[in-house]
Chain A
Amino acid sequence: LGYGELFGDRIMAVRKVLVADDEIHIVHVVTIKLRNNGYEVISAENGADAFALACEEKPDIIVTDFQMPGMTGVELVRKLRQNETTKDIPVIMLTARGFAVEDKEKEELEISELLSKPFSPKELLRSIEDILYQRAVRAKYEERSVKSEV
């Protein structure tokens, strides 16, 4: 089932991804990979900016690094989850620290995926697509079940 079939004749909006990493080369490479594949990309170099941008732009998904100046990726996700407009945005976390996040924390904060650096842009794209697709299917299913109840 592709997006087209799933949403019938409705035109799919371009998906917006927020990339947060203080390493500019990483932001750059992820941005190019995603833009080449039809995504809109916005970016931030630290947790605080990422949070502000997430509230303002309501991205469909966030890719964040763990280690950033000021606020860690985990602290960022915690803030996102406590905020009404951002609490449901899926998050993929990148880390070069080996063992930055424990499973318990990952679950609690509803982090969709942890990818360790060095990472493959291809795999990151695939993860983003999987997560967004699953979300779309779930949303469609929920919509249908609401309709059938009516």
Chain B
Amino acid sequence: MDTNNERRREQRLRYHWPVWFAEDFNEALSQGQMVDISSAAAAFTCRTDEYCPYVGQHLTARFSIPRFRPGEAFDMANFTRSGRIFRVDDVNQFSRRVAVQFAEPLPFKPGEQADSESETQERLAAVSHELKTPLASISAYSEMLVDGEADDEQTRKEFYSVIQSQAKRLNRLIEDILNTSRIESGLIKVEKGPVSLTILIEEQLQMIRSYAEEKNIEIIGQKPIVFDQVYADKDMISQVIVNLLSNAVKYTPCGGSIKIETEVDEIAGLARVSVTDTGVGIPEDEVEHVFDKFYRVGANKKQAEGTGLGLNLVKQIVEKAHNGRVFVTSEAGVGSTFGFELPLATAEAVKT
């Protein structure tokens, strides 16, 4: 009797999650979030098949998602791994599997349903096109140089500079994809400090100018503002600014103009940056989606550039990492204004 009880107790101990984990877990469950329990699993390992409910598996990591019928927790979907930890790929794969398992749609959160197969294919094709287009130029121009198809020094110089600019473009794209993944997975560290928006904008304008000149687009700069320091991660906000500026150039026809404005609202403790273009604009019913991941405005879908990641990255950086706000207004055929608000350095400093 006693031995039996003791054995059961021992088993129960072995199978109990650490208390700290149980609390996090329950809270996450009640909010319908995904839970990674691999860290707890590190403290709790099935050592023998005898004790392991998953016969034959040395279970060291397990991942669970509560599934919901509208409004109520319904059951749990589990994903186990005999390796030590889950990697981001595992989690992605898991989400896909769970999405497939659902006989009826049971969304984790509104708006995060899995895509249809054709949508996924379209996204992959779009990403492939984005990455391979600059690569195609790099590869073709190098071959031409190797094969002696560039007759004179001037042509050779031109070919080299195409290779250079396309390599930069490819790098920018890869950075976009990596940054989005980093922010999403929470891997990125936000290093905030006082940052001058005017200086950041000026720096990014240098990079975008030649692109604008190619299309004969006039850039209307801002007047310097005395106090425009925000409390932010400099690299991240640079990325936001460069994304907004390059979008503006991309979607503005040749001969148009782009206006950059910075305003400071000291009462609200906010700085606001807006980029206004004379571009194609966005149809009314599509405006609300432009910050969605991989969303591309219908009319631009077949256009060469755009991963559908740039604006999503902007939103994630501003709202998720900085408690700021992004905004957009647009009129089809007239142009768009994209921008963001960030807390001023002083306001944030007082708070913390």
- Hey, which bits of chain A sit against chain B, CB under 8 A? 22-23, 25-26, 28-30, 32-33, 36, 67-72, 94-100, 116-122
Kindly list chain B residues whose C-beta atoms are within 8 Å of the C-beta of A95: 129
Chain B min CB distance to A78 (Å):
15
Q: What are the 7 closest A-B residue pairs judged by CB atoms, nearest first? A: A96-B132, A117-B136, A118-B139, A97-B125, A98-B128, A118-B136, A25-B137
Taking a contact as CB atoms closer than 8 A, the residue among B138, B155, B302 that contacts A70 in the complex is B302
**In B124-158, which residues have CB < 8 Å from any A CB?**
124-126, 128-129, 131-133, 135-141, 143-144, 147, 149-151, 155
Chain A min CB distance to B325 (Å):
32
A68 x B140 contact (CB < 8 A): no
Kindly list chain B residues whose C-beta atoms are within 8 Å of the C-beta of A67: 129, 302, 304
Q: With an 8 A cutoff between CB atoms, is B303 at the interface?
A: yes
A71 to B303, CA, bound (A): 10
A6 to B116, CA, bound (A): 54
A95 to B133, CA, bound (A): 9
Taking a contact as CB atoms closer than 8 A, the residue among B124, B132, B144, B302 that contacts A29 in the complex is B144
Give 7 new A-B contacts, CB below 8 A, not counting A70-B302, A118-B136. A26-B140, A32-B155, A71-B302, A97-B126, A98-B129, A117-B135, A121-B149
A94 to B135, CA, bound (A): 14
Identify which of B126, B144, B155 gathers the most chain A CB atoms within 10 Å of its CB: B144
**In B260-304, which residues have CB < 8 Å from any A CB?**
300, 302-304
B143 x A120 contact (CB < 8 A): yes
The number of residues on chain B lying at the interface, defined by a beta carbon within 8 Å of a beta carbon of chain A, is 29
Chain A min CB distance to B127 (Å):
9
A22 to B306, CA, bound (A): 13
B144 x A26 contact (CB < 8 A): no
Q: With an 8 A cutoff between CB atoms, is B167 at the interface?
A: no
A96 x B162 contact (CB < 8 A): no
Q: With an 8 A cutoff between CB atoms, is B238 at the interface?
A: no
Q: From B131, which residue of chain A is reached at the shortest CB distance?
A: A96
Q: From B150, which residue of chain A is reached at the shortest CB distance?
A: A32
List, sorted by A's number, 8 A–B pairs whose CB atoms are closer than 8 Å: A22-B304, A23-B133, A30-B140, A33-B144, A36-B151, A69-B302, A100-B125, A121-B140
B149 x A118 contact (CB < 8 A): no
Q: With an 8 A cutoff between CB atoms, is B204 at the interface?
A: no
A32 x B137 contact (CB < 8 A): no
* Given known contacts A68-B302, A70-B302, A99-B125, A33 and B139 CB-to-CB distance under 8 angstroms: no
Q: From B140, which residue of chain A is reached at the shortest CB distance?
A: A29
Identify which of B126, B141, B155, B304 gathers the most chain A CB atoms within 10 Å of its CB: B304
Chain A min CB distance to B88 (Å):
22
